[in-house]
Structure 1
């Protein structure tokens, strides 16, 4: 066979001889393969079945750049053999040689718990799959991973840096094998008592920094899909998650993490799609799509600050796409923009109580240590269904809470706590309608900051407004907002209760022949300007309570309202100025 020629007309074999007679053919192959790693989307070359090369045979300039094919360490990838030890050996060797790429070639590599380490890139080739073992004894707790919400795990890393998981392959948790019909019981009021925590999460990173996960397919976890705990400098790009085989099948679940950037991901799961618990800051989420039974952006207690969500699609999501339920939290500077919500319930629920227990209002005055403020919603288009519907691809049914029926946007400050600086601009929402007169008459809203459906779970269930209910809010802005319904709804479009400093401009809403369009209770300094009544309403504005003052109505198209203004429940006529 004729030797290959280079650009100087010398053969590779000639160049090999002149450069270094001691280089083997395998070493030359590795050298020639290295440039391919720099090509976006290029497939990583697989080495032969030869034994791994020990570190003392590697030139220094190859350290951190070698490829470690797991098959060279004894992995079979035949869908039968347990390959945990072989895969871990490849990772350990890669880490020992100051990093490189651990290659998962095509095949089904069955394994239990494996640990990623610093400077390691795990590359999953097309048709390459890490498949979780169906046996519980093949998994262990991640070394150093906290036990909260369970610490049994499939793939994990602790105190590591510069990890990458990439490629068009799959990490499959085989989670249906761990289905018992029982969840972790961490929902409203359950507090985890009697919950099922003895099952593996798909991926857990704890106290890691500067890691990237891109392009991979994550699926069928027995528990949460991807838990990111106390981490910094995180980039998640182009990930697909399909996680609907077990209860508590979250997508991304963050605790106390910073500098997080999520883009171009597609998440279909059963529980929270993108949960933030504890103190999460400096987060961007863009160009993603989400579908789940329970919630998309779920915020628990802690410091959730400086978070931007933009250009996202949310569909067939129940349990509220944007859900903040806080006690003693510090939540501020959250922005949600350019979002399509199709067939959801909620669609926004924000609750705040200033107490440690979010389910108890207490008598605490705001001492400044807790707040929920500076939250904006811009460019939102949504359709809200009457009640949740079971997803056809989730094999177990999910109970519907009474408060999920005929839902609306809920801004719920409790006790002496106030939500502050909340704005809705260019928001158009179409509701299913069907709200009743009994719901419209509801005045005594429970003083709890539970999840939105917990607030509305008492009979007659459902909120007293079909569009937006706001209690204990300061500086609330509605501009170019449109609320409509598909079938008649007996409730007002908007209800304010103890709202201070509000601006309602350019709001259009359908009314009810049996109810007012706007109801304002014990609120002050409210401007209502340039509003439109889209269908016949008994009253445009009903003012209630002797604490109302400084309400100004200026202009608008009120022709379809039978009465422009009504005073009830002790409200004084001097509380309103009609322009």
Structure 2
């Protein structure tokens, strides 16, 4: 098998590296602006990560233990009433542990309270009831875009306005969310009749640790407008139904996600802005994130800003052949940063990431959908800027290619790719011509939005300003008629200083 290799070294790009460029010349012969801002950003985010690691610790759980068996649980009965009584007693006592420790507990909605740590001990299982009547609606006191768009108000574990709350343990929470139990269509809107497994709104000091989570009827976890959130050491397999996200973090501040394994039918680790609150100060490290949609993502709901985010030492992409998968295919996107509803996305750094089995390893999209609550005015397009991909490797990726695109009048700004080595699958099929790619400003943003074969096998850009490449290489498994790099209209030619 032959291998096509083209290497961008620390020198100006020569014109022959950019065949068929529609607009924008190669860097040779003109002054190139550097990306010194990226080194300052790295220092700032390293300092942020150190501060989060030092100060964001799990809250001290009182050693008082409450078990459902002491509150009326009988063998063979639905455990919900006894678990609720244990939670109430725990909260009334000033907090502690509600422990599920003896086999299986079948339950509907459990409302957590401040000071309560729900613990599923090793060998125990919390099994979601398969009767939708056991999930009474919990409507958010503070309406958000998620409520107006998804209309989802049911969950197995729910908390709102709590301080010091969490779920932990070496046991299993199984949502039993198959289509037979919870039927529904794949959708980008409402998901009626399919509860979330965990939903926490407007909470602070939230800890989710060590637990195994399996097969939610819909999203696995949703943390919306929470402060001081720790997700550590969890194992998630959400491969049973449509819209099976792994974890959704929406409008939260001071967040650590570390040591996690997530395999999801839909987005694996997804940040959102439907809360219309900013996401700020986020550290993601030492995680393995797999999805047949987007492995690591901000969007599509992007009403609140997303900034000061450091992702390091991760593997992202599609599920391997030996993993459970509802849909056996590559990830649509490896890392996808999207803003289409007015948010500013900035100061985001990913380094030491390995991208596997992704059709588009890297995807940036600045659009103009403008989705907000019905009573709110449509916002102007947001901004997508100061984005760094540093020390990115990959294997077994697809043929589509990575691409970055804004819309006319609103360009992505200040993007650095440094020490990137991404192999791609070659194709002999015709690629879409860049002049045929619609602007689609209000289109749903996903890497498959334009074509299965994009104009460049490595990276295509449009409406991007100040894109810098340093030691960047895309390779193909065989000869590919497409160029490695292609800069479309209103895009600076990618350059190395």
TM-score class normalised by the smaller sequence: 0.7 to 0.9
Residues 131-166 of structure 1: per-residue CA shift (max 9 Å, x gap): 111111111122536545201110110110101321
Asked if 1:446 is matched to 2:444, the reply is no
CA distance in 1, matches of 2:480, 2:469: 21
**Counterparts of 1:544-555 in structure 2 under 5 Å?**
none
Give the match for residue 166 of structure 1: 168
Asked if 1:89 is matched to 2:73, the reply is no
Deviation at 1:215, TM superposition (A): 0.5
Q: 1:429 aligns with which of 422, 426, 436?
A: 422
CA distance in 2, matches of 1:110, 1:486: 50
Deviation at 1:183, TM superposition (A): 2.8
Residues 464 and 245 from structure 1, CA distance in 2 versus in 1: closer, same or farther, beyond 3 angstroms?
Answer: same
Q: 1:324 aligns with which of 337, 360, 366?
A: 337
Asked if 1:411 is matched to 2:410, the reply is no
CA distance in 1, matches of 2:355, 2:180: 32
CA distance in 1, matches of 2:433, 2:112: 58
Q: 2:466 aligns with which of 456, 475, 491?
A: 475
Residues 496 and 452 from structure 1, CA distance in 2 versus in 1: closer, same or farther, beyond 3 angstroms?
Answer: farther
Partner SS for 1:92: helix
Give the match for residue 11 of structure 2: none
Deviation at 1:103, TM superposition (A): 1.3
Deviation at 1:444, TM superposition (A): 3.0
Asked if 1:131 is matched to 2:127, the reply is yes
Question: Mean Cα displacement is larger for which, 158-167 or 134-143?
Answer: 134-143
Residues 227 and 409 from structure 1, CA distance in 2 versus in 1: closer, same or farther, beyond 3 angstroms?
Answer: same
Q: 1:466 aligns with which of 444, 449, 457?
A: 457
Instruction: Decide whether the 8 Å contact of 2:187 with 2:243 is kept in 1.
Output: no
Gaps of 5+ in 1: 1-62, 187-191, 359-363, 387-405, 506-526, 528-579
Residues 478 and 120 from structure 1, CA distance in 2 versus in 1: closer, same or farther, beyond 3 angstroms?
Answer: same
Instruction: Decide whether the 8 Å contact of 1:346 with 1:384 is kept in 2.
Output: no
Name which structure has the greater RCO, CA cutoff 8 Å, separation 6+: 2
Partner SS for 1:141: coil
Residues 237 and 372 from structure 1, CA distance in 2 versus in 1: closer, same or farther, beyond 3 angstroms?
Answer: same
CA distance in 1, matches of 2:449, 2:193: 31
Give the match for residue 382 of structure 1: 394
Deviation at 1:223, TM superposition (A): 0.8
CA distance in 2, matches of 1:309, 1:375: 12
CA distance in 1, matches of 2:331, 2:123: 33
CA distance in 1, matches of 2:407, 2:79: 54
Partner SS for 1:87: helix
CA distance in 2, matches of 1:133, 1:441: 51
CA distance in 2, matches of 1:452, 1:373: 19
Partner SS for 2:360: coil
Instruction: Decide whether the 8 Å contact of 2:182 with 2:217 is kept in 1.
Output: no
Deviation at 1:176, TM superposition (A): 1.6
**Counterparts of 1:247-262 in structure 2 under 5 Å?**
247-262=242-257
Give the match for residue 154 of structure 2: 152
**Counterparts of 1:61-460 in structure 2 under 5 Å?**
64-76=62-74, 78=75, 80-142=76-138, 144=140, 147-148=147-148, 149=150, 150-176=152-178, 179=181, 182-186=184-188, 192=189, 195-278=190-273, 279-300=278-299, 301-302=302-303, 303-316=305-318, 317-327=330-340, 328-354=342-368, 356=370, 370-386=382-398, 406-436=399-429, 438-439=430-431, 442-449=434-441, 450=443, 451-457=445-451
CA distance in 1, matches of 2:412, 2:492: 12
Larger Rg: 1
Deviation at 1:456, TM superposition (A): 2.0
Partner SS for 1:347: strand
Partner SS for 2:90: helix
Taking structure 2 as the reference length, the TM-score comes to 0.77
Q: RMSD value over aligned CA atoms?
A: 2.4
Taking structure 1 as the reference length, the TM-score comes to 0.66
Partner SS for 1:407: coil
Deviation at 1:307, TM superposition (A): 1.0
Deviation at 1:383, TM superposition (A): 2.7
CA distance in 2, matches of 1:357, 1:87: 39
Deviation at 1:373, TM superposition (A): 0.1
Partner SS for 1:156: strand
CA distance in 1, matches of 2:198, 2:353: 28
Residues 337 and 75 from structure 1, CA distance in 2 versus in 1: closer, same or farther, beyond 3 angstroms?
Answer: same
Give the match for residue 495 of structure 1: 486
CA distance in 2, matches of 1:314, 1:331: 20
CA distance in 2, matches of 1:385, 1:64: 48
CA distance in 2, matches of 1:435, 1:442: 17
Deviation at 1:293, TM superposition (A): 0.8
Deviation at 1:238, TM superposition (A): 0.3
Instruction: Decide whether the 8 Å contact of 2:130 with 2:181 is kept in 1.
Output: no
Aligned residues: 405
Residues 498 and 177 from structure 1, CA distance in 2 versus in 1: closer, same or farther, beyond 3 angstroms?
Answer: closer
Residues 501 and 492 from structure 1, CA distance in 2 versus in 1: closer, same or farther, beyond 3 angstroms?
Answer: closer
Gaps of 5+ in 2: 1-60, 319-329, 373-377
